[in-house]
Structure 1
Amino acid sequence: MNTPTRVAVITGASQGIGAGLVQAYRKLGYGVVANSRHIGQSDDPMVHTVAGDISQPGVGQRVIDAAMQQFGRVDTVVNNAGIFIAKPFTEYTDADYDAITGVNMRGFFEVTRSALAVMHAGGHIVNISTSFVDQANSKVPSALASLTKGGLNAATKALAVEYADRGIRANAVALGVISTPMHDPASHEALAALNPMERLGDVDDAVEAVVYLEQAGFVTGEILHVDGGQSAGR
């Protein structure tokens, strides 16, 4: 189906921030291709779901191929899928490394590479990162998150420069701790203390930041911190 409607591809779209992004882009009038490992069909004909683990070779290309087949275009990619495992560095296992780099880096690489091959002027890449890249905390040791998400921050700026002459922007949102089902409510008080505002972010805080970047046509290469001041220090 070819349509003039703009189309957003969102990974990690089955719950939390990803699910919020699907709703937000639909409100903007976009068609959406929503991906996660386990995602069911949508009742909305303008939301096409593609189940698959983007850490696996070929899945990212399959997601973009599905977008082209369903809608005939890709205008925005939000690389939202991510894995965050906090533990002392020497306790990370090979399986941890494979899982984190697979989703955070290979998933980004294949989806974004495939999308940029078909994206036209006005396109937009948004990468979801973390403020722990800028402000490490001994209470939350997470070197592999910094390795992968720090790489995404650098790649964001590189893509912004490389694709500016094609009219394609690239930005990132570096999040603090957001209240999602992945966090045990018993940990909320301790997690809130990581930033000077002393509260967790809401899904809407993250979604609104992405929507801002989507509509900010003169912003590219930006790492937008949405973290209650966490990256500024204590």
Structure 2
Amino acid sequence: MSKPDQRVAVVTGASQGIGAGLVDAYRNLGHAVVATSRGIAPAQDPDLLTVQGDIADPTTAERVIAAALERFGRVDTLVNNAGVFLSKPFHEYTRADYERVTGINVSGFFRISQLAVEQMLRQGGGHIVQITTSLVDHANSATPSVLASLTKGGLQSATKALAIEYAGRGIRSNAVALGVIRTPMHPQEDYDTLGALHPVGRMGEIQDVVDAVLYLDNAPFVTGEILHVDGGQNAGH
């Protein structure tokens, strides 16, 4: 069980990049953390529990929330960070592409969020954060992104719907819509090109995303917000 005043965060897609940054940030704040991804390693920290699994499989979500409750007894924040981005002309997407992207981005959100909401209702409140993409709000012909818009755009709509449905029951729901963030998924030789996609002229950093999530987590009057952390992309070009 967690300490009486210890908050508990669940982070998906937690083995590297933004997810790993969020895990470290929550632990530095003293939160207990349940971190999940397909290849995540066991943790030695007693207040960090790792659960391996594919978040597209609903049984992974069930194992993650069950493990959180067994070890720590509650879930205060769920960060739906796991996601996949596949840029391809719309007519070239395959059925396998569709199933992979919708499986992780949509199914991966759905079941774990249901289970988190059930627990948050029992304990009297909580917070859910979705990580989405600013491309939902500004399509770019240089970056074909129909599957991202379909899935992450759906999450942004779901974020607002959850916020309104549970506003009177102590559960908040927000999203962070990203530009291109400097993570291991982007090769260094692409940094200048990717940076130029943003009005500020650079890529974002993992800490930018962490700061946004933590702001939302500590803003009790903010719910249903889509916070753009995109170097000005959403505002224009």
Query: What TM-score comes out, normalization by structure 2 length?
Result: 0.97
- Structure 2 gaps of 5+ residues are none
Name the counterpart of 2:31.
30
1:28 CA drift (Å)? 1.8
Any idea what SS the aligned residue of 1:211 has? helix
Report whether the alignment pairs 1:65 with 2:66: yes
Q: What value does the CA root-mean-square deviation take over the aligned residues?
A: 0.9
Q: Is the 8 A contact 2:2 2:32 kept in 1?
A: no
**1:37-48 → structure 2 map (5 Å cutoff):** 37-48=38-49
CA distance in 1, matches of 2:125, 2:31: 14
- The letter of the residue matching 2:148 is A
Q: Is the 8 A contact 1:195 1:233 kept in 2?
A: no
Q: 1:171 aligns with which of 167, 171, 174?
A: 174
Any idea what SS the aligned residue of 2:142 has? coil
1:189 CA drift (Å)? 1.4
Name the counterpart of 2:202.
199
CA distance in 2, matches of 1:145, 1:72: 34
Name the counterpart of 1:117.
118
Q: Is the 8 A contact 2:58 2:112 kept in 1?
A: no
Corresponding residue pairs, total: 234
CA distance in 2, matches of 1:85, 1:188: 18
Q: Deviations over 1:115-160 (max 9, x none)?
A: 1111133400000000000011111101100000000000000000
CA distance in 2, matches of 1:3, 1:205: 29
Distance 1:44 1:2, change over 3 A: closer
Q: Deviations over 1:55-91 (max 9, x none)?
A: 1131111111110011111111000000000111111
**1:86-97 → structure 2 map (5 Å cutoff):** 86-97=87-98
1:233 CA drift (Å)? 1.3
CA distance in 1, matches of 2:27, 2:220: 19
Report whether the alignment pairs 1:9 with 2:10: yes
1:2 CA drift (Å)? 5.0
Name the counterpart of 2:214.
211
CA distance in 2, matches of 1:144, 1:19: 25
**1:102-181 → structure 2 map (5 Å cutoff):** 102-119=103-120, 120-181=123-184
- Structure 1 stretches (4+) deviating beyond 4 angstroms? none
CA distance in 2, matches of 1:3, 1:55: 31
1:51 CA drift (Å)? 0.3
